[in-house]
Amino acid sequence: MNVALWLERAGKSHPDRPAVGFGRQVVRTYAQAASRAARLAGSLRNRLNLSPGDRVAIIAKNSPEYLEALDAIWHAGLAAVPANAKLHGLELAYILEHSGARVCLASEGLVDVVAPHAPAGLERLITIGSPDFDALFTADPVSVLPRGGDDLAWLFYTSGTTGRPKGAMLTHRNLSWCAHAYASEVDPVSPGDPVLHAAPMSHGSGMYILPHIARLGVNVIPESGAFEPAEIFDLAAYWPRISMFAAPTMVKRLIECTSDCRNENIRTIIWGGAPMYIEDAIRALDRFGPRFAQIYGQGESPMTITTLSKSDIADREHPRWRQRLGSAGRPYACVDVMVADDEDQAIAPGETGEILVRGDVVMPGYWQNAEASSAALKKGWLHTGDVGTFDSDGYLTLKDRSKDLIISGGSNIYPREIEEVLLKHPGVREASVIGRDDPEWGEVVVAYVAGHATPAELDALCLSEIARFKRPKHYLFVEALPKNNYGKILKTELRELDKKRS
């Protein structure tokens, strides 16, 4: 079940089809990509003496070589550890040490970040694009090493906002199910269809490499190696039927970009990683048309819990369109999803509880962390820590992370509900709601806002749409909200900031 077989087979059956693009250029056919993966795999196994199951870290910007490294690691029967390239050297050192990676492949500008903190167990730190790296492609090619469905393929480290990051073990079976779910329910891929990797391949975008290999698509990397809206629009003009994954903050940047875009060339923009606020989703539709899909997943169930289809997002005539637009969609066919009470029992539609999921796309556990694995996978269900509710039509709406719930005067208040209202004000660019400790009420609601509005205007808006007890007691205005490298708003940092201010 080694997912590397998909590239090896494509190299034999369709050798001349384009496989990898860099900017506007096709830089690898399927025959070339398969050959280079086989030779790099030969070096990993026979020159660097890595054994099946050994971990190889990748700390790099998006590039064609990033793709080759991933392909070769799986080809050799090894496990990839793609780490967030924007982390601090000490954070990267923890991932390298905890994963037990013997080899690390790093971009030129990142080697100096990694090297001072490299753990003793790291045997080789190789600069991508260096002569040492290029020499790895001169080895004799090897065949794909057989792997079982339960063998480790990708060690995904969580963002670690509440402590040390945990390594979610993603197996070849997990990646296979993720790929098939994408191609069948989110964004069907035809031969030659391009996917643009403008979001980090160490995260969500990397998960969509495989379905495009499986369906003979083209994995395209922007020359900047990063998310630049003007560059994305330029590439959309060159690559018809292009698709891409983007966090909601990235979609907002696309909306705000004044460059021209050939919308008709965009196949699909998939948003995920955080909920898209309804008003932002409507603005995206107004700018680009019916070209959006949504996915909800976690590193522990990669990109695959629920999906909101392009047709649902585009169906403005549906009587519950706005409600559905604010939802995370319906469960994928390959998973069971349940909203449960504190006893892990399913609750009725309309009631709020923790979101649980099980299926072959769900990780088997965390790397070297039996206690956390047991807690997360209690009774055979992944406990997501997210709070949500199903409606009578089977659409799941995310309320918040369980830790973000505000309890004021004994009443549960979900920040996202208030944030949705605040974002209706034309002067509000961003909003995030947290709870502040209060001796009388337990917690009171505090709203952090980026934009131009007055507290009186926001108060009036809230009172026109939600119960009085939910409205913020305090509004604090900032230039921008703190975010992590994937565009998620960091409420943990807001809480720390609020403690200093209050």
pLDDT tens string 284-308? 999 999 999 999 999 999 999 999 9
Of 99, 11, 108, 111, nearest in space to 55 by CA: 99
Q: For position 159, what pLDDT does the model report?
A: 63
Q: For position 493, what pLDDT does the model report?
A: 87
* Same domain (yes/no): 23, 147: yes
Q: For position 485, what pLDDT does the model report?
A: 63
Please tell me the total number of residues recorded for the chain in this structure.
Answer: 502
Per-residue pLDDT of 314-338, as tens digits, reads 999 999 999 999 999 999 999 999 9
* Same domain (yes/no): 330, 430: no
161 falls in which pLDDT band (50, 70, 90)?
A: very low
Q: For position 447, what pLDDT does the model report?
A: 96
* Same domain (yes/no): 417, 495: yes
CATH number of the domain enclosing 118: 3.40.50.12780
Mean pLDDT of 233-244: 96
Last residue within a domain, chosen from 390, 419, 438: 390
Q: Is residue 463 part of a domain?
A: yes
Q: For position 400, what pLDDT does the model report?
A: 67
Per-residue pLDDT of 413-436, as tens digits, reads 878 889 989 999 999 999 999 999
Q: For position 267, what pLDDT does the model report?
A: 97
Q: For position 182, what pLDDT does the model report?
A: 97
Give me the number of domains the chain comprises: 2
* Same domain (yes/no): 46, 83: yes
Q: Is residue 395 part of a domain?
A: no
Average pLDDT, rounded, for the chain: 93
Cβ neighbours for 340, distance < 8 A, ≥ 6 positions apart = 346, 347, 353, 354, 355, 356, 381
Checking if the pLDDT of 410 tops 80, the result is no
* Same domain (yes/no): 381, 497: no
- By DSSP bridging, strand 266-271 and strand 242-246 are parallel
Last residue within a domain, chosen from 390, 419, 450: 390
Last residue within a domain, chosen from 363, 390, 417: 390
Mean pLDDT of 47-55: 97
Per-residue pLDDT of 118-138, as tens digits, reads 999 999 999 999 999 999 999
Q: Is residue 205 part of a domain?
A: yes
What type of residue is 235?
L
Mean pLDDT of 174-196: 97
Q: Is residue 264 part of a domain?
A: yes
* Same domain (yes/no): 295, 413: no
- State the Cα angle at 435 between 453 and 448, rounded to 5°: 25
Checking if the pLDDT of 407 tops 80, the result is no
Q: For position 467, what pLDDT does the model report?
A: 76
Checking if the pLDDT of 238 tops 90, the result is yes
Supply the range of the domain harboring residue 252: 5-390
Q: What whole-number distance in Å separates Cα of residue 480 and Cα of residue 450? A: 5
Under DSSP, is residue 317 helix (H, G, I), strand (E, B) or coil?
coil
What percent of the chain has pLDDT above 90?
81
* Same domain (yes/no): 271, 215: yes
Torsion (CA) 288, 294, 300, 302 in degrees, nearest 10? -70
Question: Residue 488 burial by CB count (10 A; 0-12/13-18/19+): exposed, middle or buried?
Answer: middle
* Same domain (yes/no): 370, 436: no
* Same domain (yes/no): 181, 276: yes
What percent of the chain has pLDDT above 70?
98
* Same domain (yes/no): 356, 421: no
Q: Is residue 400 part of a domain?
A: no
Per-residue pLDDT of 350-393, as tens digits, reads 999 999 999 999 999 999 999 999 999 999 999 998 989 999 99
Q: CA-CA distances (angstroms) from residue 211 to 180, 215, 229, 240? A: 7, 6, 24, 18
CATH number of the domain enclosing 495: 3.30.300.30
Q: Is residue 396 part of a domain?
A: no
Q: For position 473, what pLDDT does the model report?
A: 94
Q: For position 87, what pLDDT does the model report?
A: 82
Answer yes or no: are the C-beta atoms of 18 and 219 closer than 8 Å: no
Q: Where on the phi/psi map is residue 486: left (φ > 0), alpha (ψ -120 to 50), or beta? A: alpha
Q: CA-CA distances (angstroms) from residue 140 to 36, 41, 42, 70? A: 10, 9, 6, 18
Answer yes or no: are the C-beta atoms of 80 and 100 closer than 8 Å: no
Per-residue pLDDT of 16-44, as tens digits, reads 999 999 999 999 999 999 999 999 999 99
Q: For position 164, what pLDDT does the model report?
A: 76
Q: Is residue 428 part of a domain?
A: yes
Checking if the pLDDT of 472 tops 70, the result is yes
Q: Is residue 431 part of a domain?
A: yes
486 falls in which pLDDT band (50, 70, 90)?
A: low
Per-residue pLDDT of 60-109, as tens digits, reads 999 999 999 999 999 999 999 999 888 888 889 999 999 999 999 999 98
Q: For position 133, what pLDDT does the model report?
A: 97
Answer yes or no: are the C-beta atoms of 66 and 56 closer than 8 Å: no
* Same domain (yes/no): 55, 181: yes
The b/e string for 147-160 (b: 16+ C-beta within 10 A; e otherwise) is beeebbbbbbbbbe
* Same domain (yes/no): 385, 412: no
Structure-token match 């698709």, residue found: 243
